[in-house]
A and B are shown apart, each in its own frame.
Chain A
Amino acid sequence: MGPENLLRDRYLPVLIVIVISIIIGLVMFLISGFLRTKRHYTLKLTPYECGISSTGYTGDRFNVKFYIVAIAFVIFDVETVFLYPWAIVYKKIGFFALLEMYLFIFILLIGYIYAIGKNIFNWRRD
């Protein structure tokens, strides 16, 4: 083995694993495709709805809360993205990093309290 090449020795295997994972899934499809029975008729191919025939389009409307939770998720996920590298270099930077991150968490906390006050995380209608 020559000198270590980060891209080749560390990340190429990861790519290979991903490719193999896809191949495993496809091979399972293929094997099953050869072996399984195929006896379709119209009634079998209707969407499941407890025996009642389905009406309307499914993805029409849904509760707006799902959107709001998704937005809250983006905010806190970005916070995590900042926390991760901070956690790595925390010991090297010391007190300044501590102060800086508390300030950051504090600002987010204000938003968090506002979100709770707005009943975003409360799904009961009362």
Chain B
Amino acid sequence: METIYVILITTIKTIIYFGVLMLHVAYATYAERKIIGHIQLRLGPMVVGPHGLLQPIADVVKLIFKEDIIPYNVDRKIFTIAPLISLTAALSTFAVIPVSENWLISNVNVGILYVLGIAGIGTYGIIFAGWASNSKYAFLGSLRSAAQMISYEVALAMSLVGVILMAESFNLTEIVNKQLEYSYGMFLIPQFLGYFVFIVAMLAETNRVPFDLPEAETELVAGYFVEYSGIRFSLFYLAEYLAMFCMSALATICFWGGWTVPPFLLTIFPFLGIIPGIIWFLIKVYFHMFLFFWIRGTLPRYRYDQLMSIGWKVLLPLALLNIVLTSIIKYYW
């Protein structure tokens, strides 16, 4: 009886959560084009609807109606399943991500491990896509992407060890609550080194500029999804944006105090407490999304050898240094 109740409640919650999430993803693509447009002194999408506001909907309709081309020499089974793996991995990470105090699907006690583990599965989708496509561009793109993602996954995972040391928990809700015990209310301040490593690794993990070598339009056309078209292509696209939201949410929860307001700010401006937690959470997530777009509008792409040496020779030692420093400070505190 209770099992049925849990199933029912979770299904309803998930559908609402995913509905809102999909809307966010759709408008993130719009925001990206608009923001980058304005950075480059263009207007961005303007035609569909007022200020191009209906552009994402037009895009979705277009992608659904597009022809699905499967080249004759691909490995059909893997080619078909690859976008599904990417999407599933990207979507299921949100099962444990709390949006506010009481708004989450499941309060799993190993939240961080789950998010990192499931996000890592997304790499399989990319490798499968590149391998099954049997096209040189796709293959090179997927090789690069796989090497890049596993390289930066180490730095990403290690940058979070500092947070776990301070929070003494894997549970994302507990990590947020632990940050309230400090007057500054966020781990960003003691963990600035970890935050820096996390932000750089997050850009590389989601294959964004300046680490978008797997897609590198000028040399690899589109990287691992060269051969994909129509709805399959849009599933990869969706997965990329979902991963961006997932990483933004993780950065918000682990470093920015999630849905809480820093206590010192509350004592100065008591009226900030009226604003519901979910708004704070969304503002912080939007900031990180903006950061993605801002960096895309600002920085050129790295070369592959630079990418690898940044990951292994700079970020990894920095993350280790952060762990060592945090553990020493934690010992004497």
Contacts and interface: CB of A to CB of B under 8 A. Distances in A.
Contacts of B235: 25, 28
Interface in A96-120: 98, 101-102, 105, 109, 112, 116, 120
B94 A17 contact: yes
B269 interface: no
B71 A36 contact: no
A21 B92 CA distance: 6
Interface stretch (B255-263, B274-282, B324-332): B324-332
Interface stretch (B27-35, B36-44, B45-53, B301-309): B301-309
Contacts of B150: 69-70, 73, 77
B6 A8 contact: yes
Contacts of A21: 87-88, 91-92
Interface residues of A, number: 72
B150 to A, nearest CB: 4
Contacts of B73: 47, 54
Nearest to B312: A121
Interface stretch (B156-164, B182-190, B202-210, B287-295): B156-164
Contact of A36 (B6, B11, B65): B65
Interface string A1-33: 110010011111110111011101110110111
Contact of B92 (A17, A54, A66, A73): A17
Interface in A21-70: 21-22, 24-26, 28-29, 31-33, 35-40, 42, 44-50, 54, 57-59, 62, 65-66, 69-70
A116 B107 CA distance: 41
A98 to B, nearest CB: 6
Place the interface of chain B in its size category: 35 or more
B180 interface: no
A67 B147 CA distance: 9
A45 B95 contact: no
Contact of A37 (B65, B109, B305): B65
A36 B230 CA distance: 9
Nearest to A63: B143
Given A36-B65, A88-B170, A121-B308, A80 B161 contact: yes
B104 to A, nearest CB: 9
B106 A13 contact: yes
A2 B2 contact: yes
A54 B69 CA distance: 17
A13 B158 contact: no
Interface of B: 2-3, 6-7, 10-11, 13-15, 18, 63-74, 83-84, 87-88, 91-92, 94-96, 105-109, 113-114, 131, 133-139, 143, 146-147, 150-151, 153-154, 157-158, 161, 164-165, 168-170, 221, 226-227, 230-232, 234-235, 304-305, 308-309, 311-313, 316, 320, 323-324, 327-328, 330-331
